[in-house]
Structure 1
Amino acid sequence: IFFIFISGLAVLIVGAIVLSNVGEFQRFVDSTVLGPPIVLIVVGAIIFLIASLGCCGAIKENYYMLIVFAVLLGVIFIMELAVGIAASVAKDDFTTALRSSLEKSMSNYTITSADRESWDGIQKSLKCCGISNPKGWEKVLGNDQVPITCCRTGTAPTPSSNPPTCPFSTDQSLVFQEGCYNKIKIKIKDNIIIIMGIGIGIAFIELAGIVLAVCLAATIKKEQEEK
C-alpha cells in the first residue's frame, strides 16, 4: 500500500509537470492535449485518498475496507488506461489542428493582444520564428519584417514599429530560422510519451496492489470464519 501512496504522488507530480510544459501552448492546442495531464493530477489526488483507505483496512484487518480499496483501485486503473489511450490518439491526431490554430492565431497577431502575447512567448522560449520559417510573417507584417521576439538578443528593432519588429534575415545569428510548429509538436509529443510511460509503470503497481488487497482480504475473511 506504501507503493500505492508513492504511485499517487508520482502521477500527481508528472501531471503537474506535463501540464506546465504544454500549458504555454494552450492557445494553440485543444482539450485532447491539455486533458490527459489534468486528469492525471485529479487521479493522483484520488489515489492518495484510496491508499489511505487501504492502509486503514490493512491495519484494522477489515475485509470490507480492503475489498472497497481493491475495487476503487480497479476503477482508477481503468481511468488511467483511458487517459493512456487518449494520449496515444492525441499524439497522432493533434498535428493538423495545431497547424490550423497557429495559422489563425498568426493572422490575428496585430489585432488581438492574446495572440500577440502567445506568439511572442513561444518564439522567445523556444527560439523559433513563424510556423514553418520566418518568411511566414511577411503576409502579416509586410516589408520584410518579423516580430522582435524572432530576433536574437541585441538586435535593434525597426524604428516606429508597432508591435515591435525587426528586419527579416536568413542569418541565424540575427533571426531564429526554425519554425515554431515543429518545435511545439516535438515538445508536446515528448510530454505525451512521458504520460504514457508513467501510466504503464503505475498501472503495474496498481494491479499488484489490487491482487495483494484481494489476497489479504481473503486471508482475513478465512481467519474470521475459523474463529
Structure 2
Amino acid sequence: MQSCELGVVKYILFTFNLIFAISGVGLIVAGAFVLSDVGEFEHFMEGRILAPPVVLIVAGCIVFLVASLGCYGAIRESYYMLMAFALCLLIILIIELAVGIAAAVYKNDFQMSMKDIMKSSMQRFENSKSDRVAWNNLQTKLKCCGVEGPADWPENTRPVSCCHAIREGVNPPEAHHCRAAKPEDEILYVDGCFYQLQDKAESAAKILIGVGIGIAFVEVIGIILACWLASAVKNKD
C-alpha cells in the first residue's frame, strides 16, 4: 500500500512540477509585458513603482529552477530534496505576499510621489532635454496634457505635444509650443497625464495581482504534494 501511494504521489508531483515550470515562464512573460508597458514612462516613476514586475520576473526565474528541483527530487524519491523544494516554494510564496501587501499599503504614497515627480519635471522642461523628451513622449502616446490638465502649463511654454489638432497659422508642425486661446480650447488634450499614467499603472497592477494569486494557489498545492511525498518516502525508509 505504501509503495502504491508513493508511486501515485511521485508522478502527480512530477506532473505538477512540469505545469509549475510552465507557470514560471508565464510569470516571466507577464512581468516583462507589464515592465515594457509601463517602463517607457519610467522618467516619471520611482524605482519602487517599477519593482513589482521586476520581482515577478525574478520570481519566475526562481520558480522555473525550483520546479526543476522538484522534478528531480520526485524522480529520485529524495526526502531532503523534496523538503528543500517545499521550503523554497514557501519562501517564494512569502516574498510574493510581502510584495503584494507593500504595494497595497503604499499605493497612495506611490501616487503622490509620481505626481510630485511630474510637477518637478515640468519645471525643468525648458532647460532639460531629457525632461522635454519624456514629456513629449508621454503626452503624445497617452493623448494628455499637463499633470492634471492643460492649465498646468504656462501658455507660452505649453509643448506642441499637447495639441491634438494643428490650426493653420496658429500651431504649424515646426512649432515648439501649443498655443490656444484658453486651456479648454478644442485643439488641446483635456485630460491630465497623471490620471492617464495612474490608469495604466493600475491596469498593470491588476495583471500582476491576477497572475500572483494564480501562482500562489499553485505553490500551496506544490507544498502540500511535496510534504506528502516526503512523508511517504520517510515512511518507506
Q: TM-score, normalised by structure 2?
A: 0.85
2:79 matched residue in structure 1: 63
1:148 matched to 2:160? The reply is yes
- In the comparison of the two structures, how many residue pairs are matched? 217
**3-state SS of the aligned residue for 2:178?**
strand
How high is the sequence identity, in percent, across the aligned residues?
43
Is the contact made by 1:19 and 1:37 (CA closer than 8 Å) also made in structure 2?
Answer: yes
1:102 matched residue in structure 2: 118
**Deviation, structure 1 residue 153:** 5.6
1:186 matched residue in structure 2: 199
Aligned counterpart in structure 2 of residue 91 of structure 1, from 86, 103, 107: 107
2:133 matched residue in structure 1: 117
* Amino acid across the alignment from 1:114: S
**Deviation, structure 1 residue 167:** 1.4
Out of 177-186 and 7-16, give the one that drifted further.
Answer: 7-16
Question: Structure 2 CA distance, aligned partners of 1:120 and 1:206?
Answer: 43
Question: Structure 2 CA distance, aligned partners of 1:190 and 1:128?
Answer: 18
Is the contact made by 1:36 and 1:86 (CA closer than 8 Å) also made in structure 2?
Answer: no
**Deviation, structure 1 residue 154:** 5.0
1:36 matched residue in structure 2: 52
Inter-CA distance 10–98: structure 2 relative to 1 (3 Å threshold): same
1:204 matched to 2:220? The reply is no
2:142 matched residue in structure 1: 126
1:15 matched residue in structure 2: 31
2:231 matched residue in structure 1: 218
Out of 101-110 and 89-98, give the one that drifted further.
Answer: 89-98
Runs of 4+ deviating beyond 4 Å = 153-156, 158-161
Q: Unaligned stretches of 5+ in structure 2?
A: 1-16
1:27 matched residue in structure 2: 43
* Amino acid across the alignment from 2:235: K
Is the contact made by 1:146 and 1:168 (CA closer than 8 Å) also made in structure 2?
Answer: no
Is the contact made by 1:87 and 1:195 (CA closer than 8 Å) also made in structure 2?
Answer: no
Aligned counterpart in structure 2 of residue 167 of structure 1, from 173, 179, 192: 179
Question: Structure 2 CA distance, aligned partners of 1:81 and 1:159?
Answer: 50
C-alpha RMSD of matched pairs (Å): 1.9
* 1:133-178 per-position Cα deviation (integer Å, ceiling 9, x unaligned): 112111xxx43x52111112655645975xx122125343x22111
